[in-house]
Amino acid sequence: MGKRQPTTQELMRLDAIAKHLKIKSRYPADSFTAAVIDTCLDRIAPVVEKLLPCSGEQIALGLGEHLHLTFEEVRGPADVTDLLKRYLQGKKEIGFAQVPEQLTQPGVDALLFERMHAQEQDPDRWVAVLNLQDSDAKGYWNRFHELSHRIAEPPQGILPFKRHQIEASNPVETLMDAIAAEFGFYEPAFRPLVEQRAQRSRLTFSVVEYLRRQFAPTASLLSTMKAVVKFWPQPAAVLVSEFRGRVGAPHLDQALRVTPQGHNGAASNSGLKFIFNMRVPQGSPIDLAFQTGVEQNELERLGNWTTSQGKRLASLNVHTSARRIGKRVYSLISAGS
């Protein structure tokens, strides 16, 4: 994926974020993202501390309350009609007139409004409209994404709303996703649950699903897998595999190949690392899950994993949990006791 140059407007927003959070680092310095995340976490910590121990859903609601931000979910035309009735007709917020048209455009995940006729203390001074018409899968993530805009950015003032589209190359949106990843599985709330589970069990899908039910039932499976791996006490990694060819030559050497999705610090230290697009060995648990559609929970030795350039993974004994979903195989790889 090629990176485009940020636009002037994006650079101005990034600069405004640095000033709003009072941080010295400026985009695109390496320290910028970390400084933004740390400062946002510092700001929300006192609010979330009062809620602990709590679930992720409770954190979203608690932060929304603190920031005077209400979430509205749109699943179909009846929800749009209801929104217009309450905000456009009821509260004379003319910005909402654009909701129907905006939500028909492709890739619009959410709209964030600052109401024009709200009092400072109104709980719906800000309204985040979440577009769940295609699926619920992104609802959890988008709550934290919108909260991140509210925490990191100065109140917009000029525009009645912003529109959010998944746009991987927009540095402001990428930054909001990085903040959302920290808030959605907030460490002081989520790590203790993961560690408790790790004492009793290997890393499997049933562990991930148990933790998802406990903490964030509306979160997607993949985002929960990544968060569990991050706090797993032993070396662990998440992979997604699919059938495809070489990088730059998609029709050559088609095979089941991996896209690493993240690993924890213990994995970096122990050499548990995968190489983008390397082939999954035939007969390995991931391959079996792909071929048979049956979930695999098996031990394997990573020394069998090689690349066409002759690279070989560290010869670690790992436990692999692999589940086929559609054309892909999701897997959890963990090493250690």
**CB nearer Zn ion, residue 179 or residue 219:** 179
**CB nearer Zn ion, residue 68 or residue 164:** 164
Q: How far is CA 264 from CA 55, 67, 180, 196, in A?
A: 22, 32, 18, 17
- Check binding of 115 to Zn ion (CB under 5 A): no
Q: How many residues bind Zn ion (CB under 5 A)?
A: 3
To Zn ion, the closest distance from the beta carbon of 176 in angstroms equals: 5
Query: By CB under 5 A, which span of 94-102, 164-172, 243-251, 257-265 interacts with Zn ion?
Result: 164-172
What does the DSSP 8-state code read for residue 7? Answer: P
To Zn ion, the closest distance from the beta carbon of 144 in angstroms equals: 11
Query: By CB under 5 A, which span of 2-10, 172-180, 247-255, 319-327 interacts with Zn ion?
Result: 172-180
To Zn ion, the closest distance from the beta carbon of 225 in angstroms equals: 23
To Zn ion, the closest distance from the beta carbon of 99 in angstroms equals: 16
What does the DSSP 8-state code read for residue 157? Answer: -
3-state SS record for 41-110: HHHHHHHHHCCCCCCHHHHHHHHHHHCCEEEEEECCHHHHHHHHHHHHHHCCCHHHHHHHHHHHCCCEEE
**CB nearer Zn ion, residue 114 or residue 173:** 173
Closest among 189, 211, 267 to 234, alpha carbons compared: 267
To Zn ion, the closest distance from the beta carbon of 150 in angstroms equals: 11
Task: Report the DSSP pairing between strands 126-131 and 255-263.
Answer: unpaired
**CB nearer Zn ion, residue 180 or residue 216:** 180
What does the DSSP 8-state code read for residue 313? Answer: -
Q: Are 201 and 233 in contact (CB under 8 A)?
A: no
What does the DSSP 8-state code read for residue 323? Answer: E
To Zn ion, the closest distance from the beta carbon of 233 in angstroms equals: 33
**CB nearer Zn ion, residue 171 or residue 285:** 171
Rounded-to-integer distance, Cα 57 and Cα 51, Å = 11
Other residues' Cβ atoms within 10 Å of the Cβ of residue 337: 7
To Zn ion, the closest distance from the beta carbon of 102 in angstroms equals: 14
Rounded-to-integer distance, Cα 172 and Cα 14, Å = 7
To Zn ion, the closest distance from the beta carbon of 43 in angstroms equals: 18
Which burial class, exposed, middle or buried, applies to 168 when counting CB atoms under 10 A from its CB (0-12, 13-18, 19+)?
exposed
Q: Report the residue number whose CB is nearest to Zn ion.
A: 164
- Tokens (6 digits) for 33: 């993202």
**CB nearer Zn ion, residue 162 or residue 244:** 162
**CB nearer Zn ion, residue 54 or residue 67:** 67
Interface pick for Zn ion out of 68, 164, 263, 323 (rule CB under 5 A): 164
* Positions that interact with Zn ion (CB under 5 A): 164, 173, 176
